Structure 1
Amino acid sequence: MKQSDSKQAVFTLYGGINVIGGTKLYVQSGESEVLFDFGSTFAPGFGSFDTVLRPRPGREVDDYMALGIIPNLPKLYAGSKEGHDLPVFISHFHLDHVGLLFLLDPSVPIYMSEPSYQLYQQLEVIGEGIGQHDDIRVFTYGQWIEWKSLRVLPLEVDHDIQGATGFFVETLSGTIAYTGDFRGHGNHPDKTEAFFQYLGAHRTHALISEGTRAGEASGRHTVPEKDMAHMLAKTMENRSAVFFTLYHRNIERIAAFAAAAQAVSRKLVLTPATLHLFRTLAPVQYEQSRPAVYVCATQAAESLPSYLTGLDVQTVNAQELANDQTAFLVELPYEHLTELVDIQPHNGAIYIHSDGVPLGAYDPAYANVTNWLQTFGVDMVSVRSTGHADPAYLQACIEQANPDVLYATHTFHPEQMPAPHSGLLVVPHIGRNYPIAPISV
């Protein structure tokens, strides 16, 4: 991408507009260029590819680029004659922000926080990696990163995953900030508050903010993350079998289930992958709860994943669950619902949906979950704490930052984002250049 004025910095969004996720924010200042996030968009029934129509092996970059899913920025991909000095800064490790990193050339620099790096390492172990990357750089919160004429400052925010980061960037012509995803009702609201206070104190000319819950009906209660363990325990009272689904990259949520299980004297039973993440990323809580690992009908105990080899961990199968249904709290993800055939839940069984897959009714799999649970007489109960700011908190954050221009992303309702007190609200377009410079309103 060329500019007529080498001192006028610009940014371009290559995803995340009028959808949730898929964020790719490109910033260019003179000869310097950086990218923030490289996520995939989950839109069942609306995407260009599905479980049948797949990108061609070895031609994935061509196919994704032809459909506008990834940007035409040659430095990101194999075969570039310009080199690969276009770094990608990761805000956090949800797939809608990192899901397409596997398409990048291995030599592209990838920046991430220390907590994100720890998660990245363990995701590789359980088979949820992001492809080969030979130049991973771990940044320290609050320390500037110099990239030619650009300066990038990573700052913590709170989200429902460890290592979440927002960024403040100084360019040749102005400042730009990118929020990543954030909330104020998590266990660390001070992180989010400090981020937006910094933006307000350092004149943010352009703010790229997520607005997942913009336009949400007023009065909807947002459950604080700190209340989750108590709510889960209350939900399990006087129940027979209790199953649940969560997103196992949310380590604090696993810990909440562990605490709830202890409170009601049930044994926590996790899938092998979830148990591994809990053991390696929250070792103190893991040792306190000592969860068991679930062995599916298709998986003999002796063939558990190699990353569990040698561990002193109890195994539990469907027959044991069937024989003592009030003794366990069992993780049962969507792909394992067939275990209900062998467990045969008693009356009073429940399935706790706690931000696991499928996330909601927009996913066709959600209706299938409902059908399965109804077939076996299991009630589905939602006990969740979203990773995104409610409308009131979102407005407070925007007012605190008070940017010259707010660009709404990561939302189905960008026009309903709160406008800055003394600035402009813009609904951006994919692929369009926007200036980074002071604006007087």
Structure 2
Amino acid sequence: MKTTIKFWGGLRTIGGNIAEVIYGKDRIIFDFGLVYNPASSIIDIKERKQSYVLDMLKLGAIPAIDGIYSKESLTGESFSAAKPQPQEDSSYQTAVFISHLHLDHMGAVDTLSPQIPVYMTEDSKQLYDALERVGEGLSLHKETTGMSFGQTIEVGEIRVTPIPVDHDVIGAASFLIETPDLTLVNSGDLRMHGPHPEYTEDWLTYMATQHIDVLLIEGTTFNPDKKETDTACKEDADILKVGKDTLAQKQGLGIFNIYHRNIDRIHTFLQMAQLTGRTPVLEAPTAYLADHFLHDVHFMIYLDDSSKYAAITEQLLAKHKTVTAFDINQNPAAYLLQNSYHSIQNLLDLDLKESIYLHSNGMPLGSFDPAHQTMHALLERLGVSYQSLNVSGHAKNEDILYIIDRIKPSVLVPWHSHHPELIKPLDSKQEIYYPKLYETWQPNSLNIAKL
């Protein structure tokens, strides 16, 4: 067997998954994101654009992979950090494939050489471009190429086909990767309890008919601490009902905090406002995404003292009205207002008597983020009630085991998990491989036979 696989990240982390598949001089890499750990994010280097790639290498935020960074971006002293071979000196034909638009899977694509093509689904590319327009692009501009679900991209003798799965962001894909002597599936991030379980079920039905040599499966939810989370929602469908019932009990302002890359979640809160007789009010970037991706929806745009989003707001004024804190304070119970954590200071302008803060997978994500405690302390100080409406974007433990049992790969590789060893397949004879970081693995060492 000529195919080799090398793992550069994601083996015992949530996100930061980077794997390299090589056949001869053909190479693909998937994904290319960052490990999310706000507690260790002590410095901001976004403005150091000339040295950005070297800075990221020095911080260990990106791996020292030969042949993917430009010679220009590697110019300068690397000191103790390993400086990889520049792309211009590499003999590999390389392409990078992004499964979905979460930062832990795509947040470092801007460090790649302009000569390295980056592929993602058409929906992901639309979101990627829209985020750049609202000021949420990456530190450096990087062109990407959209591909249709089911479309096969050939990188020399390696074939990559994206297949839709349900995750909490549009455009999410699993990748079927075929070389002349190996068939590999990267599950990507997926679930069976979201608004589109049919995506994952159809993917699973197809994969169960294939002979899969290697399955890379995410295992986010596997944890030795079985303590229940504080959310009142088990599935996405619960968010609308619980949120509606909670708002009905409050005589003041409704406030919500979401991660607006989840377009379905934006739509859920617009529906919630309609069902409770409240006017939905969105921040300008979210309003732009709602206007771009949703149809026949109605909302107002929140105007604060910041002029940061003036250009975005101006584009939307032809369709949507604006509202200020003064307007909301005339009748707070008439509104359901978006408030992202980075704008939480705007709450100081509002009448918060009998108000409720609905937190639905917005930042900060959990207690591992120091900002989570800060958020709760501020809400308590302001007398704002809190309700978690979080629903995981990742498959439940039992669903992961069901997926493995349906696909029955020759070899299972668990990753995207703090505890991959906890993934114990229903079939006790299922072969499992736990790769080591930076190890070059030839799967034929586990007696995989290509049918």
The 8 Å contact of residues 206 and 405 in structure 1, kept in 2 or not, is answered as: yes
Q: Give CA deviations for 1:285-337 in whole Å, capped at 9, x if unaligned.
A: x2xxx111111133499x45366355232111112222211000000111222
Structure-1 residue corresponding to 2:32: 38
Taking the aligned partners of 2:386 and 2:207, their CA distance within structure 1 comes to 42
Q: Describe the SS at the equivalent of 1:385.
A: coil
Structure-2 residue corresponding to 1:8: 2
The 8 Å contact of residues 176 and 207 in structure 1, kept in 2 or not, is answered as: yes
The correspondence for 2:244, drawn from 229, 233, 249, is 233
Taking the aligned partners of 2:145 and 2:312, their CA distance within structure 1 comes to 29
Structure-1 residue corresponding to 2:201: 193
Taking the aligned partners of 1:119 and 1:206, their CA distance within structure 2 comes to 30
The correspondence for 1:318, drawn from 298, 307, 325, is 325
Taking the aligned partners of 1:306 and 1:291, their CA distance within structure 2 comes to 13
Structure-2 residue corresponding to 1:254: 266
Structure-2 residue corresponding to 1:329: 336
Q: Describe the SS at the equivalent of 1:283.
A: coil
- Name the Cα RMSD after superposition: 2.3
Counting only pairs closer than 5 Å after superposition, residues 62-101 of structure 1 correspond to structure 2 as 62-79=54-71, 80-82=87-89, 85-101=93-109
Counting only pairs closer than 5 Å after superposition, residues 168-179 of structure 1 correspond to structure 2 as 168-179=176-187
Which has the higher mean CA deviation after the structures are superposed, 144-153 or 268-277? Answer: 144-153
Q: Which runs of 5+ in 1 are unaligned?
A: 1-6
* Cα distance, 1:258–1:52 mapped onto 2, change above 3 Å: closer
Q: Give CA deviations for 1:146-165 in whole Å, capped at 9, x if unaligned.
A: 22111112111000011000
Taking the aligned partners of 1:316 and 1:278, their CA distance within structure 2 comes to 17
Structure-1 residue corresponding to 2:395: 389
Q: Describe the SS at the equivalent of 1:243.
A: strand
The 8 Å contact of residues 192 and 395 in structure 2, kept in 1 or not, is answered as: yes
Which has the higher mean CA deviation after the structures are superposed, 155-164 or 83-92? Answer: 83-92
Q: Which runs of 5+ in 2 are unaligned?
A: 72-86
Structure-2 residue corresponding to 1:132: 141
Once the two structures are TM-superposed, the CA of residue 200 in structure 1 deviates from its matched residue by: 2.7
The 8 Å contact of residues 67 and 89 in structure 2, kept in 1 or not, is answered as: yes
TM-score, normalization by structure 1: 0.90
Q: Which amino acid aligns with 1:100?
A: A
The 8 Å contact of residues 344 and 376 in structure 1, kept in 2 or not, is answered as: no
Matched, 1:266 2:289: no
* Cα distance, 1:309–1:199 mapped onto 2, change above 3 Å: closer
Q: Give CA deviations for 1:202-253 in whole Å, capped at 9, x if unaligned.
A: 1211111111101362877862223322222112112111111000000000
Q: Describe the SS at the equivalent of 2:234.
A: coil
Q: Describe the SS at the equivalent of 1:426.
A: coil
Q: Give CA deviations for 1:29-85 in whole Å, capped at 9, x if unaligned.
A: 121100111101111223xx5236779542222232344432323332112323684
Matched, 1:27 2:21: yes
Q: Which amino acid aligns with 1:171?
A: T
Q: Describe the SS at the equivalent of 2:5.
A: strand
The 8 Å contact of residues 152 and 162 in structure 2, kept in 1 or not, is answered as: yes
Aligned residues: 426
Taking the aligned partners of 2:442 and 2:314, their CA distance within structure 1 comes to 49
Counting only pairs closer than 5 Å after superposition, residues 47-62 of structure 1 correspond to structure 2 as 49-51=41-43, 57-62=49-54
Structure-1 residue corresponding to 2:127: 119
The 8 Å contact of residues 360 and 389 in structure 2, kept in 1 or not, is answered as: yes
Taking the aligned partners of 1:197 and 1:115, their CA distance within structure 2 comes to 23
Structure-2 residue corresponding to 1:410: 416
Taking the aligned partners of 2:8 and 2:308, their CA distance within structure 1 comes to 45
Taking the aligned partners of 1:137 and 1:55, their CA distance within structure 2 comes to 26
Structure-1 residue corresponding to 2:234: 223
Q: Describe the SS at the equivalent of 2:17.
A: coil
Matched, 1:283 2:295: yes
Once the two structures are TM-superposed, the CA of residue 99 in structure 1 deviates from its matched residue by: 0.5
The 8 Å contact of residues 406 and 426 in structure 1, kept in 2 or not, is answered as: yes
Which has the higher mean CA deviation after the structures are superposed, 231-240 or 194-203? Answer: 194-203
Once the two structures are TM-superposed, the CA of residue 426 in structure 1 deviates from its matched residue by: 2.9
Q: Which amino acid aligns with 2:193?
A: H
Taking the aligned partners of 1:371 and 1:246, their CA distance within structure 2 comes to 19
Once the two structures are TM-superposed, the CA of residue 375 in structure 1 deviates from its matched residue by: 0.6
Q: Give CA deviations for 1:323-360 in whole Å, capped at 9, x if unaligned.
A: 211000000111222222221311x2110000000000
Taking the aligned partners of 2:64 and 2:228, their CA distance within structure 1 comes to 43
The correspondence for 1:362, drawn from 360, 368, 386, is 368
The 8 Å contact of residues 359 and 389 in structure 2, kept in 1 or not, is answered as: yes
The 8 Å contact of residues 272 and 304 in structure 1, kept in 2 or not, is answered as: no
The 8 Å contact of residues 199 and 401 in structure 1, kept in 2 or not, is answered as: yes
Taking the aligned partners of 1:300 and 1:92, their CA distance within structure 2 comes to 27
* Cα distance, 1:419–1:307 mapped onto 2, change above 3 Å: farther
The 8 Å contact of residues 85 and 109 in structure 1, kept in 2 or not, is answered as: no
Once the two structures are TM-superposed, the CA of residue 133 in structure 1 deviates from its matched residue by: 3.0
Q: Describe the SS at the equivalent of 2:27.
A: strand
Taking the aligned partners of 2:214 and 2:391, their CA distance within structure 1 comes to 29
The 8 Å contact of residues 8 and 436 in structure 1, kept in 2 or not, is answered as: no
The correspondence for 1:375, drawn from 373, 381, 386, is 381
Taking the aligned partners of 2:216 and 2:47, their CA distance within structure 1 comes to 30
Q: Describe the SS at the equivalent of 1:269.
A: strand
Structure-2 residue corresponding to 1:3: none
Q: Describe the SS at the equivalent of 1:59.
A: helix
Q: Give CA deviations for 1:167-224 in whole Å, capped at 9, x if unaligned.
A: 1111233211101100001121121122233333212111111111013628778622
